[in-house]
């Protein structure tokens, strides 16, 4: 099973050259309830000043291959208003392009 540190290291390296401002972990890994069947849930703040194009749609597949686990990547702008309060309550910052 993956650790939060492994996920953070992988996510930081992967998104360092992508049009992404911040990446957060949420779901079972953020709640420390993950098991062998858990997927990795990522919330991304996209940088709309850069070209995003179709690459957004391959990030999940790329990360699945790297991490060896199912990965769901969700844009913060595409987040359901019903789920947003729960996700924002548990999310953990994994990557911040500004370094902050």
Q: Where are the alpha helices (DSSP H) in the chain?
A: 4-15, 59-67, 84-90
Q: How far apart are CA 95 and CA 100, in angstroms?
A: 9
For the stretch 3-25, pLDDT in tens is: 999 999 999 999 999 999 999 99
- Residue ranges and CATH numbers for the domains of the chain are 4-96 (3.30.460.10)
Q: What is the pTM (predicted TM-score) of this model?
A: 0.95
pLDDT higher than threshold 90 for residue 100: no
Q: How far apart are CA 10 and CA 39, in angstroms?
A: 15
């Amino acid at each position: 099973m993956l650790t939060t540190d492994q996920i953070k290291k992988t996510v930081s390296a992967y998104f360092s050259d992508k049009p992404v401002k911040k990446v957060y972990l949420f779901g079972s890994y953020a709640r420390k309830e993950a098991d062998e069947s858990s997927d990795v849930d990522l919330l991304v703040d996209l940088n709309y000043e850069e070209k995003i194009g179709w690459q957004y749609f391959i990030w999940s597949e790329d990360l699945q291959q790297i991490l060896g686990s199912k990965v769901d990547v969700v844009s913060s702008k595409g987040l359901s208003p019903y789920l947003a309060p729960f996700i924002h309550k548990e999310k953990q910052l994994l990557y911040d392009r500004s370094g902050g």
